[in-house]
């Protein structure tokens, strides 16, 4: 690109950034159903006795900070580290987390309500409660057994991410060289059973071939619970433009991840270059017993994260907005949502998006980029409600 043209482009995009009336942001937040598809706060609830009702000066999610942003609901992630747990231990750890989410929700009945459907989210909202839902991150937790999948569904889990960063015996992850060429025959059975039950198929973390296999196999729309755009940040677990178009063509929704490493080109390399912090983190991890008291490790890990952030700086909010804008341009306005990854990404989030209380900055940023109020309402949660309904209705039809 030649220089005068580049300058002209910069000038015109700066010009497009109109001043937004704060009253417009406030009005929209009042009206919106704001849903976040991926929050890893569950680990802190289980391991540190984290109380969602208290306002914390660490982590990204609690009730006071959700109230600041008028959050209507979120999916708490049920995640197990398969490098550390055997399959049987993984099932136990999964059940511990489901129990923790249900108990934490029941402990604050004036503030929270467990929800499983789009209607239950709206009912909770009407009653002034924040809806709490569960998403299972990593198909390893079913131990290749459809009975476990059905049991998790009965306990309230409403999406399953087919893999995390390891392959399952039936699906390839994007984090390792392929082993199964996508989904195995059993993997396709898993996807069909999820469609039958009404559990959303989540393709964040999976390999490209697994993505296309899942999309083809599922009889309902599918989601990415926390994935960003690969054409901006070339990370294997981000979505290519063709994936964005394909998931949209089937009625699905891509929920944009806020982690800096998936937003900013080269960020992961800079983070990985901080060898001292990594070595200290590895040593903490290696001392952590599989079961037992892990609570002392949270503060130590957060201290290392803070030192990393001091060295790396935070990327501007504009970069996150770039991903929303790109995803809407490619997939369409009906196919983009929020999948922050709060409490699951080493505290590394853009400037002005450091925790869930900062969602109003996203709303203002989208307005500055020219998005209409109806369009922003879709991104904040309208699209998620639609895809949940579509998955629920596909399951009804299958009965
Ligand atoms: Zn994840």
Alpha helices in the chain (DSSP H): 3-16, 22-31, 42-48, 63-68, 87-107, 118-126, 146-155, 185-197, 208-217, 241-249, 260-263, 267-272, 275-287, 297-312, 317-331, 359-368, 373-377, 383-398
Residue whose structure tokens are 């049987």: 88
pLDDT value of position 398 = 82
pLDDT value of position 14 = 46
Cα(4) to centroid(ligand 1), Å: 41
> In this structure, what are the phi and psi dihedrals at residue 55, rounded to the nearest 5 degrees?
-85, 125
Cα(71) to centroid(ligand 1), Å: 21
pLDDT average, residue stretch 177-205 = 98
Cα(106) to centroid(ligand 1), Å: 26
* pLDDT for 366 beyond 80: yes
* pLDDT for 54 beyond 60: yes
Cα(172) to centroid(ligand 1), Å: 15
pLDDT average, residue stretch 64-86 = 95
Convert the pLDDT of each residue in 336-361 to its tens digit: 999 999 999 999 999 999 999 999 99
What fold, for 22-268+315-398? TIM Barrel (3.20.20)
pLDDT value of position 267 = 95
Q: Rounded mean pLDDT of the chain?
A: 93
pLDDT value of position 53 = 98
Cα(158) to centroid(ligand 1), Å: 16
- Domain range annotation of the chain: 22-268+315-398
Cα(38) to centroid(ligand 1), Å: 8
pLDDT average, residue stretch 272-300 = 78
* pLDDT for 321 beyond 80: yes
Structure tokens at 245: 């178009």
* pLDDT for 19 beyond 90: no
Cα(228) to centroid(ligand 1), Å: 12
Residue 267 CA to residue 346 CA, distance in Å, equals: 13
pLDDT average, residue stretch 373-393 = 98
Q: Taking a C-beta distance cutoff of 8 angstroms, is the pair 159, 225 a contact?
A: yes
Using CA atoms, how far residue 372 sits from 89, 166, 258, 363, in Å, is 48, 40, 22, 10
Residue 309 CA to residue 304 CA, distance in Å, equals: 9
Cα(22) to centroid(ligand 1), Å: 33
Percent of the chain with pLDDT over 70: 93
pLDDT value of position 11 = 46
* pLDDT for 287 beyond 80: no
pLDDT average, residue stretch 281-289 = 78
Q: How far is CA 178 from the centre of its chain?
A: 24
pLDDT value of position 291 = 54
pLDDT average, residue stretch 76-105 = 95
pLDDT average, residue stretch 148-170 = 98
> In this structure, what are the phi and psi dihedrals at residue 92, rounded to the nearest 5 degrees?
-60, -45
pLDDT average, residue stretch 21-49 = 96
> When comparing pLDDT for 17 and 227, which is higher?
227
pLDDT value of position 15 = 45
* pLDDT for 303 beyond 50: yes
pLDDT value of position 286 = 78
Q: How far is CA 108 from the centre of its chain?
A: 23
pLDDT average, residue stretch 112-133 = 98
Q: What is the pTM of this model?
A: 0.94
Neighbours of 272 (CB within 10 A): 10
Cα(46) to centroid(ligand 1), Å: 18
pLDDT value of position 126 = 98
pLDDT-derived band at 294 (thresholds 50, 70, 90) equals: low
pLDDT value of position 293 = 55
Cα(205) to centroid(ligand 1), Å: 7
Among 79-93, 136-150, 284-298, name the most confident range: 136-150
pLDDT-derived band at 295 (thresholds 50, 70, 90) equals: low
Cα(382) to centroid(ligand 1), Å: 23
């Amino acid at each position: 690109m030649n220089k005068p043209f580049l300058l002209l482009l910069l000038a015109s995009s700066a010009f497009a950034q109109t001043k937004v009336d704060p009253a417009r942001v406030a009005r929209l937040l009042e009206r919106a159903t704001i849903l976040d598809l991926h929050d890893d706060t569950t680990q802190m609830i289980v391991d540190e006795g984290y109380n969602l009702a208290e306002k914390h000066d660490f982590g990204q999610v609690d009730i006071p900070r959700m109230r600041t942003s008028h959050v209507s609901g979120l999916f708490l992630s049920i995640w197990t580290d398969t490098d550390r747990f055997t399959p049987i231990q993984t099932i136990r750890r999964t059940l511990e987390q489901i129990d923790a989410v249900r108990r934490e929700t029941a402990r604050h009945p004036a503030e929270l309500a467990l929800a499983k459907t789009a209607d239950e989210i709206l009912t909770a909202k009407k009653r002034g409660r924040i809806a709490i839902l569960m998403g299972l991150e990593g198909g390893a937790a079913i131990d290749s057994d459809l009975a476990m999948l059905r049991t998790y569904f009965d306990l309230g889990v409403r999406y399953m991410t087919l893999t995390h960063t390891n392959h399952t015996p039936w699906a390839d992850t994007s984090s390792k060289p392929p082993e199964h060429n996508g989904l195995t025959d059993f993997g396709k059975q898993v996807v069909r059973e999820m469609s039958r039950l009404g559990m959303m198929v989540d393709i964040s973390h999976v390999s490209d071939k697994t993505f296309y296999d899942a999309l083809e196999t599922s009889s309902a729309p599918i989601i990415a619970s926390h994935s960003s755009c690969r054409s901006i940040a070339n990370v294997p677990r981000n979505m290519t433009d063709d994936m964005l178009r394909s998931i949209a063509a089937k009625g699905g929704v891509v929920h944009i991840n806020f982690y800096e490493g998936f937003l900013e080109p080269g960020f992961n390399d800079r983070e990985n270059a901080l060898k001292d912090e990594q070595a200290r983190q590895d040593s903490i991890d290696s001392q952590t017993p599989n079961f037992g008291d892990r609570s002392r490790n949270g503060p130590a890990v957060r201290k290392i994260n803070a030192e990393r952030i001091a060295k790396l700086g935070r990327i501007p909010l504009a970069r996150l907005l770039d991903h929303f804008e790109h995803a809407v341009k490619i997939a369409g306005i009906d196919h983009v949502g929020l999948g922050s990854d709060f409490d699951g990404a080493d505290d590394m989030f853009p400037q002005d998006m450091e925790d869930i209380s900062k969602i109003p900055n996203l709303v203002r940023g989208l307005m500055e980029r020219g998005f209409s109020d109806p369009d922003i309402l879709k991104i904040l949660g309208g699209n998620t409600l639609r895809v949940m309904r579509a998955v629920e209705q596909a399951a009804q039809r299958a009965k």
